[in-house]
Amino acid sequence: MNFRISALLITGVLFTLSFPIFSEARVGATLEQLTHQAAIHWVSVQQLETALADKKPANVGFDIDDTLLYSSPAFFYGKSKFSPDSMNFLKNKMFWNELSSKGWDEFSVPKQSGRELIEMHLRHGDNIYFITGRPAPEGAKEDLTEIIQRDFSIPVEKLNKVIYAGTSRNAKVRYIRKNHITVFYGDSDSDILDARKAGATGIRVLRPLLSTNTPFPVNGSLGEEVVANSQY
């Protein structure tokens, strides 16, 4: 055996001793498991459905951005187009008009948790309303209703047009109350608080981890139920 081969063998042994290869499984955690660590009132879609079993069909409501749709791609594009160096695009009517009438939500990703919640309420016979904090587009036909219907497979006879509540404080309260909504799902504190002010139950949906809507809310801090695994 020559010197070069001996040196390679010794190097291999030293590497193995320094960095042992483990074949046995190690204790780990999925992202779903990690999100359950906080001691808050977690509920699953199945638990929510079980709780509805002996109740009559009712009116339920959903926020849209970060609740049903991961819409950060559309908002990111709007920021890049109207105010790359600031958040001023959120004060620009042209942004809001184009967001909800130019097909930008074709790039928004429907959340699986949203699908499961909507399917569950449709099975129960509930009427579903969509109330967004976006201002209504001016001088253009909104296309968000059509996208929501398609992405979440909502029957035409069960479809209610998206309600554009706008960005003002407590904006959703009047629409939740007007439509006799008993349960409202949302990702932000204002969704939970607006639901309560309107006499409805607010249930938290987790904001997607990649959302550009920051800072993130403290889920469960209002004592509300939080839907497990609803970040995606």
Q: Would you call 105 a catalytic residue per the annotation? A: no
From 63, 66, 143, 187, active-site residue:
63
Beta bridge partners of 227: 43
Q: Report the distance separating Cα 207 and Cα 46, nearest Å.
A: 20
Q: Would you call 194 a catalytic residue per the annotation? A: no
The two three-digit tokens of residue 34, written as one number: 């990690």
Q: How far apart are the first and last CA of the chain?
A: 59
Name the one residue in this structure whose structure tokens are 């607010």. 202
Q: Report the distance separating Cα 196 and Cα 115, nearest Å.
A: 24
From 65, 66, 126, 191, active-site residue:
65
The two three-digit tokens of residue 42, written as one number: 């977690």
* Residue 26: burial class (beta carbons within 10 Å; 0-12, 13-18, 19+): exposed
Catalytic (active-site) positions? 63, 65
